[in-house]
Structure 1
Amino acid sequence: MLQYLKKFSTNVDLAISAANCLQAVTEDNPELLSSFSSSAHQVLESVMLSSDTAMDYILLRTLVAGTGWNIKDTIPSNSLASTVNAMLKIFSESLAIDAGETIIQMKEAETQRLKLAAEAETEENMDDMTDKSILNEDAEMEETPKGKARRKNNVLDLLPSDKLELKQVTALLMAQQTALEIVVNMCSSEDPSDDEWEELSSSDESDLFMENSYDEGSGLLMSPLCLSAEVHAALLNYLVPKKILDKTAFPNSVAVDLCAHSPSWKPLIKKLNVVQCRALTCLHSILLVADVDCLGGSSALQSLSQHLSHLVFSQSVFPKDAEFLEAVTSALRALLQTMASKNISQCITPEQLITLCEAGIQCSNVSVRVNVVSILGIAGSVLAKVEDSAETLKMIGKFLLEVAVKDSSLVVAGEALDALFDVFADGKEAETAAVEIKLLPALKEFQPVFKMRIRKEGKKQYSTDQLCVLDNIKMNLRRFIAYQETLGKK
């Protein structure tokens, strides 16, 4: 495949196909790493350093950068920082392009090109009709218009195909989706070993890096405690988190409307939505590995909370797409957990949360249901510390109890129980609400049912890890009931 990559300057389509294959086969394939020689790295580097700004070349560089990340363990240590820097530069350039505006421009370009082609064809047809109407007895004179006609046909043959602009936009969206997926992988990589951290923390370069770990205006930033210095520095240098946040917005409505009215462009709507979902997933990954200060502080998190709320509640109809709901609720869950752990006030009202949960719990996607239940638990645990919150806690408690008892998935039921433990762990407001919704008798009645469900459904439907979590919840349920009984005796 590397031999086809070498031809990228003369046959970019072939190179893209090779890069797609190469990225796929190198992902989670350590056995293949030994086959990457220095010459192979040079081929990848030559592609990554290319400067053509066409969309298909942006896609090619993004795919090759993804391959580079997959084989990062084969990169010499003295070259790793510069290579990672080159990767993030490519991702940043890809994500910086406004796909909606590009669609609008490309659609207009296609319209103009097809109009000119149609006019040229009409003119040619008129010339042919004129030629046929003229009777010329001179054989030499007859060949001249034929020659002209042939030359016109040759020019038309060289015109781009009808799908040229569509192909470019598709390449851009594929590049952006790929870039976002690779950044998720970067955030999800295994943590460095203790030795690596000792080496990092003892270096002068690390001290300088820590001093410059926040750059005002760069948006969400990464914690050096969770990412390698190379990735962290490159993310900051190219403002990648800010560009990821921009991609979480809904697609440009004008671009969507243009695509909707063109059968060949209509599939781009799905691709635009996929990019948004990948950006939300990427944001979720960033929130999981980020420190609050590196995220921009309390105000930045509150702004992000408002942004995510807008995504959920700004539509006239509550979103039903499972992929979008999973992505946005995952990001919201991680954000609210971070804010709660640092006592940062949340901008989402209890009424909005209940609306979100009532809609989300109807989703067939288990991850969405787990997320909304967890979100409600996080919000409830914060509210339990607020005066005069008993009525809201009652509403939350009733909802979580119903989910625990009625949901078809043990994973969701277990998450609902966990959320109940968090909400009603302590505090006067929580105690009052628990008594009024009869939480203790409800849990005592449900306890044997939950045990039986784990015993009957567990091994057939759930993984070992899931069963381990469910067993812990079962044990915590017993302890929580005992705790509630103690409160009742006071």
Structure 2
Amino acid sequence: MGKTKNNKFKRPSFSSDGLPATPVKQTGDESEDEDSPAAELLDKLQSPSADVREYACASISRVVQQSQTIPGFLQRDAVRKIGPLLLDRSLAVRETAAGALRNLSACGGPEVCEDMVRQDALTPLSALLRECCTGFDMSSSPTMKGQKRTVEDVANEAVNLLWNLCESSSTAVSVFNKAGLLDVLLHCLQRHPQNMELAISAGHCMHTVTEENEELVRSVNAAVFGVLENILSTTHTSMEYTLLRTLAAGSLWNLKSGLSSAQQSQTLTALATTLSHSLSLDAGELIPELWRAESARLSKETTSATESDHTDARPAGHEAEEMEEDVRDEKMNGRKPNERMSKTKNDISDLLPRDRLELREAKALLSAQQTSLEIIVNMCCSDEPSDDEWEEMSSSDESEVCADGMSDTNSSLFSPLCLSAELHTILLNHSIPQQVLKKAEFPSAAALELCSKYPTWKCLLKKMHRVQCRALTCLHNILSSMDTESLGGASGLQAVAQHLSSLVFSSAEALKDEEFLEAVTSALRSLLQIMATKNIPQGMTPQQLMIFCEAATSYELVSVRVNALAILGITGSSLSKEKNTADTLQLIGNALLNIAMKDSNLVVCGEALDALFDVFADGDEAEKAGKNLNLLSSLKALQPGFRAKLRKEGRGKYSPDQLCVLDNIRINLKRFISYLENLQRK
């Protein structure tokens, strides 16, 4: 009990709420109708007219944003029909073809991405990217004269498609490695003086493909590190450069094992400097400033420019850009694809024109801060992440033999980590913990009000919220990996606890947001456990405890319920050592018993029992409360049902690690009943 597993951010798998979990297998009337939009548009791809081919690709990119249309396209071999157009003679067709595949990958989910890779979409995509890189420095060519697109526009769509596929498919990452596409991304990154949009797309893609990619790490050389370090050393103050430097920092962190020990030290300092700068920027002040700058600039324009044909023809990659970002960000803490999404088509933002410079800057700022926090999470996290849905493990003897005969000795998943002395010092010297805590505060009222008021800036509301949620998860890992004194001692921890409690109990709306509640309860759980081990008073009121009791029973997300139960257990255990707390302990115990007896999820039942063991393990107040609850008879009554349910449902519904923990709890329940019986005989 009280052990925590650090959350590690991994690049997300694509998915979209409302889209089928297995879109390739869906059938419907449309898929059987030869006159469907899919059939008509795919036929137009074969037209001898470049304009018709371009129209067809652009139309497909719009249509596939409606999930029900995707099976019709896939059943008609859309990927193999669109793929060759990536190498079309017309740059406009190339760009819209890449955009159509980009939207298909974004809206179709992981299975569609895997299917695209199986259908060899990466072969023409790789050829296109290499041709684009060759054409970057060419002022003109026979294929470019008179065309409104540029090679860099095409490359941007292609890089985004590559990013999508590599996020969702390990096979795509393997193809990326074998095809040597890292050089392509480096070339795109180096275009930042000429085309920041392309460089940022390449930075995102590189941050993705370098994560946990040992094959790639073995192939990197000094030139790769040189490009990334040069980006880190840029002094431009724009928010887009801040984002680009942050993405380069993330890639360097992923590739750090390819550096020598001496280089690692220097690189860590540069990374911390970059992350610290990103987090030090006050979005609450900068967003209103950027809005005022945009308003002043637009007011000086006497006429509003009509959108060019170039902008109108770019729906392929940009109409779903906001949706792609939201889908990527639904990855919190190992969440599985297609799990509890909240994205709907109404959230898809309109094309953000390139002349919306200030809004682009604001988006880049928030993306940089979100990415910075995710990098810090991984810095403070185990290199051996677990995919368990149950985020916590029991405290029973780690030498205890589990149900499958294996010993539960993998403590690296659960034990608080000790950072290397060097990394620990670097993070403290750059005030990273303090900056993380500031980002965990609610966004400023002024920024929220402004973004709520103006529709074009409304897309920033979710981004500010994500920064806060990532900061809370980051805080959870920092608490688990740094010593108490580094975090300000007892008074510092109490201040943090007060702040986190204020976030949880500040409004009814906060308790309705499961993503937020998952993040804040994880951080609070970690903090309270540390405070308990240090005998630091926690100050939780009975009213606050009742809210956690309600959270433990009413939320669909298992991790929120588990966190709430653990917080009840930690707090109750601390209260059992104080005087005149029997009534509060009885309140906690009653809630835990009800959950242990009635919850349909064995993981939640197990956590409730584990918390009971903590609360009533020792102390006169705990003994008094236990007798008032008839705790012994209640546990005896639920024991057979728990054992039977574990035998009946366990291996079919829960992972081996979960079964191991549940079996430990079964053993501990038997021991705890014996302990209570001995108390009663005294």
Contact 1:85 1:230 in 2 (8 A): no
CA deviation map 1:116-163 (0-9, x unaligned): 11x3569xxxxxxxxxxxxxxxxxxxxxxxxxxxxxxxxxxxxx9442
Tell me the SS of whatever aligns to 1:301: helix
What does residue range 351-370 of structure 1 map to in structure 2 within 5 Å?
351-370=543-562
Q: Which amino acid aligns with 2:514?
A: A
What does residue range 470-481 of structure 1 map to in structure 2 within 5 Å?
470-481=662-673
1:54 equivalent in alignment to 2:247: no
Q: Which residue of 1 aligns with 2:654?
A: 462
Q: Which residue of 2 aligns with 1:168?
A: 361
Measure, in 2, the Cα distance between the counterparts of 1:243 and 1:282: 11
CA deviation map 1:91-112 (0-9, x unaligned): 0000001112111111111111
Match of 1:291 among 457, 464, 483: 483
Q: Which residue of 2 aligns with 1:232?
A: 424
What does residue range 339-354 of structure 1 map to in structure 2 within 5 Å?
339-354=531-546
What does residue range 8-407 of structure 1 map to in structure 2 within 5 Å?
8-117=192-301, 119=302, 161-190=354-383, 226-315=418-507, 317-407=509-599
Q: Which amino acid aligns with 2:651?
A: K
Tell me the SS of whatever aligns to 2:493: helix
Task: Classify 1:323/1:106 alpha carbon distance in 2 versus 1 (closer, same or farther; 3 Å).
Answer: same
TM-score by length of 2: 0.60
CA deviation map 1:410-460 (0-9, x unaligned): 111101000000110011111111111111111111001111111122112
Measure, in 2, the Cα distance between the counterparts of 1:342 and 1:99: 35
Unpaired segments ≥5 residues, structure 2: 1-184, 306-352, 385-415
Q: Which amino acid aligns with 2:230?
A: S
Q: Which residue of 2 aligns with 1:441?
A: 633
Measure, in 2, the Cα distance between the counterparts of 1:272 and 1:86: 26
The structural deviation recorded for 1:34 is 1.4
By relative contact order (CA 8 Å, sep 6+), the higher-ranking structure is: 2
Q: Which amino acid aligns with 1:168?
A: E
Measure, in 1, the Cα distance between the counterparts of 2:422 and 2:274: 15
Tell me the SS of whatever aligns to 1:8: coil
Measure, in 2, the Cα distance between the counterparts of 1:387 and 1:308: 26
Match of 2:606 among 414, 421, 439: 414
Q: Which amino acid aligns with 1:183?
A: I
Unpaired segments ≥5 residues, structure 1: 123-159, 192-223
User: Which consecutive aligned stretches of 4+ in structure 1 deviate over 3 angstroms post-superposition?
Assistant: 119-122
Tell me the SS of whatever aligns to 1:304: helix
Task: Classify 1:225/1:275 alpha carbon distance in 2 versus 1 (closer, same or farther; 3 Å).
Answer: closer
The structural deviation recorded for 1:280 is 0.4
Q: Which amino acid aligns with 1:263?
A: P
Tell me the SS of whatever aligns to 2:380: helix
Measure, in 2, the Cα distance between the counterparts of 1:185 and 1:485: 46
Measure, in 2, the Cα distance between the counterparts of 1:326 and 1:163: 34
Report how many aligned residue pairs link the two structures.
420
Contact 2:575 2:581 in 1 (8 A): yes
The structural deviation recorded for 1:384 is 0.7
Contact 1:80 1:230 in 2 (8 A): no
Q: Which residue of 1 aligns with 2:45?
A: none
Q: Which amino acid aligns with 2:223?
A: S
Q: Once structures 1 and 2 are overlaid, which stretch shifts more, 466-475 or 285-294?
A: 285-294
Q: Which amino acid aligns with 2:654?
A: Y
1:482 equivalent in alignment to 2:677: no
Contact 1:44 1:68 in 2 (8 A): yes
Taking only the aligned residue pairs, the percentage that are identical comes to 54
Measure, in 1, the Cα distance between the counterparts of 2:644 and 2:578: 37
Contact 1:443 1:481 in 2 (8 A): yes
Relative to its length, the structure with more helix (as a share) is 1
The structural deviation recorded for 1:318 is 4.9
The structural deviation recorded for 1:240 is 1.0
Q: Which amino acid aligns with 1:172?
A: L
Task: Classify 1:477/1:114 alpha carbon distance in 2 versus 1 (closer, same or farther; 3 Å).
Answer: same
Tell me the SS of whatever aligns to 1:408: coil
TM-score by length of 1: 0.83
Measure, in 1, the Cα distance between the counterparts of 2:299 and 2:354: 13
The structural deviation recorded for 1:316 is 5.3
What is the alpha-carbon root mean square deviation over aligned residues?
A: 1.7
Measure, in 1, the Cα distance between the counterparts of 2:223 and 2:263: 15
Measure, in 2, the Cα distance between the counterparts of 1:88 and 1:55: 17
